[in-house]
Structure 1
């Protein structure tokens, strides 16, 4: 681990869901849970892993250290470590290490976007960014810098427990400032009735992203609130699964 990264992170485990019978390696879908960076756990999303496995993907549901004990750089480092482990081991579970997709809802979407647009965390682990594509599900924090500037929270309160009181760190962990032509493709889903901060930051993110990808793979789900954006995946026939399958298929052609 390179200097500047926390080497004393807690040990975390992950859950893997593989198709029952498979003669070929399958695309890998790593899911990062939400919870405002201070709550949530992988066990809540076993339903998602099981449904993805039935759709011929190897799903990996991960955990990461949470605030207030840990800050955003620790969370991103831990998530990158999980992705590295998947890259090096997932073929033992039927997954293709060359077809790794990351996804997340809310805070998890932020971490997925950050790892997809900023290679620094993988460079610190001495590997090339292995992410082939990212699926953002009502992602929070895409422009945390602007959000926190406007909110002007008192030091040490609210999201500052995660992002610290340092505005430099806010910008360093805002994916919008790292968009470039080398990024893996993105599938972006947003609820039309989601949280105001997500609505505004996703709008700004899309404006920047369109400079690189004029016609982004973006789905606005009219009327959807924030929590239903992930709860909809309980329904195996939900159209979002079709979007994910098409995204992965087109990206592998």
Structure 2
């Protein structure tokens, strides 16, 4: 690439980020989740990282994940990220910015797809999270990761999957992931405790099931690892009570938990702020890194 073309590329990225910044600070209706993801993905640069796409962790067409790792990583923490989308949409390809951001922080990062509702209802997507974590653990050393220093995180529905996969003793056991290997869980704007029967997202859960049967805050095991619950102060999609209820359940079980409300962020921007170019929006990325460093 010539110096002139490099400058032109830099200008285009700067313009894209400036446009995104203006849009993101407007209302939710001004910028769709997909718009944000596409713009962020165009803005990030994967140079210098090891990237392995479409790694298969299970038999379903959606059972794939992408790995982003620092080059020459040695014994690095391993992080699994799970996308949101009401369990009915979303794709790992829209979260390249997450993989890039966490890999630049020094972590071997898997960004996964999972089976979607309504064709696949709970617990299919939770089982997929546990299976993807098993694959990451089995292959961690290939990318310079430590298989016994695992973290699981997700946004929105993905945060539900992350918490349920780790806190319900059944899923890790069935997937063959040692409980001791998971050092922490980071939930980002997750719906951990709500009556899904009143919402369109009920199609993600078995017919005639109840919140007691499926909600993560009802399934907390006493030996669960530390949790960080990140809440967007302006979230109008997933209400903060979800994190309050889960925090109470974790404390009742004696599980270490930190609930952090991030000012100025909404349901979209709390995830967008994971991207390195958009940390000015809020503290999502920094809070995640501090938590991982504290518990690795």
Task: Report the TM-score when normalising by structure 1.
Answer: 0.85
Structure 2 counterpart SS, 1:34: coil
Query: Residue 261 of structure 2 corresponds to which residue in structure 1?
Result: 220
Change (3 A) 1:179 1:54: same
Structure 2 counterpart SS, 1:167: coil
Query: Residue 196 of structure 2 corresponds to which residue in structure 1?
Result: 148
Q: Deviations over 1:117-154 (max 9, x none)?
A: 112122223443342211111112x114xx235x2x6x
Change (3 A) 1:59 1:214: closer
The structure whose RCO (Cα within 8 Å, separation 6+) is larger is: 1
Query: Residue 236 of structure 2 corresponds to which residue in structure 1?
Result: 195
How large is the RMSD of aligned CA atoms in angstroms?
2.2
Query: Residue 25 of structure 1 corresponds to which residue in structure 2?
Result: 75
Change (3 A) 1:172 1:8: farther
Task: Report the TM-score when normalising by structure 2.
Answer: 0.73
- Greater CA radius of gyration, 1 or 2? 2
Indicate which of 91, 111, 116 corresponds to 1:61. 111
Q: Distance in 2 between matches of 1:108 and 1:214?
A: 21
Query: Residue 124 of structure 1 corresponds to which residue in structure 2?
Result: 174
Q: Which runs of 5+ in 1 are unaligned?
A: 1-6
Indicate which of 285, 290, 293 corresponds to 1:241. 285
Change (3 A) 1:100 1:41: same
Q: Distance in 1 between matches of 2:149 and 2:218?
A: 26
Q: Distance in 1 between matches of 2:291 and 2:264?
A: 23
Indicate which of 162, 178, 189 corresponds to 1:138. 189
1:15 paired to 2:66: yes
Q: Distance in 1 between matches of 2:154 and 2:255?
A: 23
1:114 paired to 2:164: yes
Change (3 A) 1:214 1:86: closer
Change (3 A) 1:191 1:13: same
CA contact 1:9–1:74 (8 Å) conserved in 2: no
Query: Residue 201 of structure 2 corresponds to which residue in structure 1?
Result: 159
1:176 paired to 2:220: no
Q: 1:214 Cα deviation (Å)?
A: 8.5
Q: Deviations over 1:197-232 (max 9, x none)?
A: 432222222222233459732210123210111011
